[in-house]
Amino acid sequence: MSKKEMHQRGWDTLDIIIVTGDAYVDHPSFGAALIGRLLEARGFRVGIIAQPTHDKPEEFKKLGKPKLFFAATAGNMDSMVSNYTPSLKPRKRDMYSSGGTPGMRPDRATIVYSNRIHQAYPDAPIVIAGVEASLRRLAQYDFQSGKVRKSILADAPADLLIYGMGETQTEEIARRLQAGEDIKQIKDIPGTVWKTPVKSWKEELKGMYYIELESYTTVSEEKEAFARNYRTLWQQQNPGNGKVLVQPHPKTIIVQNPPAKPLETQKLDEVYELPYTRQKHPAYKEDIPAIEPVRFSLTTHRGCFGACSFCAIAHHQGRMVNSRSIESLLREAKSLTKMKDFKGNINGVGGPTANMYSMECPQWKSKGVCTDKFCLYPKVCPSMNTDHSKNMELLNRLEQIPGVKKVFITYGVRYDLALTQPEYLEMICKKHVSGRLAVAPEHYSKKVTDSMRKPGRDVFEKFVEMYSAINKKMGKEQYLQTYLMSGHPGCGLKEMIETAEYIRDNKLYSEQVQDFTPTPMTASTCMYHTGIDPFTGENIEVATSRRDKKIQRTILHYRDKRNRKYILEALKTADRMDLVGNSWKCLISGKNGMWESNSHKQQGR
């Protein structure tokens, strides 16, 4: 991170410099550290400029000019999601900054960093990557501005964009640049996006099979075209047979190569067993909050075949699950026991979900993922191997490592999968739940869970019944921590009230309610912007105003007295004043239209 550290290694220059919006933590959960360690293992000299002050050009020069390229990333989160709440207020804390200090990364950080690098070294190749670049690689709806924005590659002075997890692409780019290739001629790497002039793109792509998407101009003006584009993108997000996608922009043409294949087990093992210190860089005096939940956790797999509408993992990690070997995970766990601050607890074992480890579909290797159906919606596909045995073996063997006292499941469990193998649920209830098990039903209205591509509440009820019976049999008092979402497309006041009634009747009140936030490249964001379900083509109800979204959220927090006026307004609008009860005498104030109670002591049921 400094010239002093370079000289301590005997380096005068660097091959690659990574500019990141996160503070530098040497842990595989941080993208810059993982890519940096991998490149280092391949013999490249790597520097990291973490959270540079973007209006100080000298900060982008502090490590000099790299021999090969700069890599710019906003960090582990999209900068606009990191910087703003769902109500578009600046966040008061940044988990990826020292001391949780907000404002350490600029809005649209990838673009800002690219511009500053280009100003500092106009002829230096620039590669952009990370979640922000990956999920904004084509024209996308931007919640913060309320409009469709161009591909981030059209706005940034970068040469290449890496989408997905990026190890394979980054290695190949580095190797080919080292061999003397011009970065502007590197256009054939899967999992990358490049741009070409408007006047010559058809000639350049001549002889190549590609799909031309609706142009940026069209999708920014026509919501139906935006929805059609999303569906095409979804269908081609397949490492097995995805096609090249081309999207015209006013001043450039954006070309997306097919997705890169996920890492095989051996390579995935190698990546996670690189010599990470699992510590913040010594330059930081304060702790970095994001490291604490994952410092003593194990990443078992990548990818998720759940494909929930509101989640972008399908477009970043992919729907194909690729898992590490048990032996590799055991070696990593043993290394944790040698750390001086390890207390004996491994506090997380999993990936995007806890229980997809080692699961796969027989056709993934030959055809990739299905493009015309979902693996878990409306029910678990019979072709999917949902065997939890290897997962159970892993948990058992981790417990036997000297120095390991407890192995906890803190990642969310996909409960529809857990239902397929009760012995897995019995095992984790017995040994691996620390009082509460996290699950995400998200909603209890079928209309809404259908739009989310999630199982309905009937499946959740089966899981609750099984979970309760297992714990009762064991004499344990353990609970479910349920995560819910308000304001998702497909949800109106009727559906929100239905969910609140279900919560009340089943004693499932939870503070864990997330207000739906449209983030780039999710199906839910497409629905939010267009009012169209891209998979069915049907119109869908959407709450778009801040007030409507706030009212929906307050309905689920009905115990909070501060929410009374919003809840009463919602019940009046939905013609559900029967839920207020006789103890409430409500009236509409002609002045401000708010609902008020005659007595602060009276409470409705």
153 and 69 housed in the same domain: yes
Instruction: Give the CATH number, domain containing residue 401.
Output: 3.30.750.210
Secondary element (H or E) of residue 463:
helix 457-474
What are residue 481's DSSP bridge partners? 438
Q: 582: pLDDT confidence band, cut at 50, 70 and 90?
A: low
418 and 359 housed in the same domain: yes
Q: What is the pLDDT of residue 600?
A: 35
402 and 306 housed in the same domain: yes
Q: Which residues are annotated as a binding site for [4Fe-4S] cluster?
A: 304, 308, 311
429 and 441 housed in the same domain: no
Peptide bond into 378 cis (omega under 30): yes
Q: Is 285 contained in some domain?
A: no
246 and 317 housed in the same domain: no
The pLDDT of 400-424, averaged and rounded, is: 94
Q: Is 290 contained in some domain?
A: no
Domain boundary among 401, 433, 465: 433
Q: 593: pLDDT confidence band, cut at 50, 70 and 90?
A: very low
Using the CB atoms, write b or e for 179-217: b if 16+ within 10 Å. eeeebeebbebbbbbbbbeeeebeeebeeeeeeebbbbe
Q: What is the pLDDT of residue 583?
A: 52
Average pLDDT over the chain reads 93
Pick the closest to residue 132 from 110, 164, 159 (CA basis).
110
Quick one: what percent of the chain has pLDDT higher than 90? 87
Segment 149-167, tens digit of pLDDT: 999 999 999 999 999 999 9
CB-based contact 515:487 (threshold 8 Å): yes
Q: Is 373 contained in some domain?
A: yes
A 10 A CB-CB count for 586 gives 17
Domain boundary among 368, 398, 433: 433
Phi, psi (deg, nearest 5) at residue 248: -65, 135
The pLDDT of 402-417, averaged and rounded, is: 93
The pTM assigned to this predicted structure is 0.93
Q: Is 389 contained in some domain?
A: yes
Residues 6 or more apart whose Cβ sits within 8 Å of residue 277: 26, 27
52 and 13 housed in the same domain: yes
Helical segments of 72-200, H only: 79-83, 109-120, 130-135, 152-155, 167-178
Residue 592 has pLDDT above 70, yes or no: no
Q: Which residues are annotated as a binding site?
A: 304, 308, 311
185 and 319 housed in the same domain: no
429 and 551 housed in the same domain: no
Look up the domain containing 551 and give its range. Answer: 435-447+454-597
Number of domains in the chain: 3
Q: 111: pLDDT confidence band, cut at 50, 70 and 90?
A: very high
Helical segments of 236-264, H only: none
